[in-house]
């Protein structure tokens, strides 16, 4: 699993921002030889689980917590999504990147709602 090392690194920290930065940094290193769409999805879900678990324990509005989760996936996308694009498609990538990014962030927002009960069950 490509997300095992980023998970381990991020789970050893306590601060939400540090966890996200550590996860993204480890994901960049893990994906240095390229990335598939499935691996990006795995990384995104793993990061969302970490952020949801951390944000759920903080005293804040639920809309803020969801925004933190989506922002974490945006940070991951900005850092590693290009590694999933074959070099021959890079010119097309630059044209469709904003639309793909928006689609990924919309999916992340929906995934937060689906993952929240699962993360809470795992913590119990």
Where in the sequence is the domain holding 26, given as residue range(s)? Answer: 4-123
- Residue 68 tokens read as 């933190």
The count of structural domains within the chain is 1
CB of 65 closer than 8 Å to CB of 109? no
Q: Region of 90 please: left (phi>0), alpha (psi -120 to 50) or beta.
A: alpha
Residue 55 has pLDDT above 70, yes or no: yes
What sections of 1-124 are H helices per DSSP? 4-11, 16-30, 37-56, 62-80, 90-123
* Mean pLDDT confidence for 97-106: 97
In the chain, the percentage of residues whose pLDDT exceeds 90 is: 55
Average pLDDT score over the chain = 87
pLDDT bracket for residue 15 (50, 70, 90): confident
């Amino acid at each position: 699993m490509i997300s095992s090392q980023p998970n381990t690194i991020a789970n050893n920290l306590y601060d939400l921002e540090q966890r996200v930065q550590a996860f993204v940094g480890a994901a960049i290193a893990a994906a240095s030889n390229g990335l598939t769409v499935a691996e990006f999805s795995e990384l995104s879900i793993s990061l969302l689980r970490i952020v949801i678990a951390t944000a759920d324990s903080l005293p804040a509005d639920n809309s803020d917590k969801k925004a933190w989760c989506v922002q974490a996936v945006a940070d991951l996308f900005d850092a590693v999504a290009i590694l999933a694009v074959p070099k021959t498609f890079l010119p097309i990538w630059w044209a469709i990147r904003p639309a793909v990014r928006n689609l990924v962030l919309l999916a992340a927002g929906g995934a937060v709602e689906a993952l929240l009960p699962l993360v809470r069950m795992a913590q119990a």
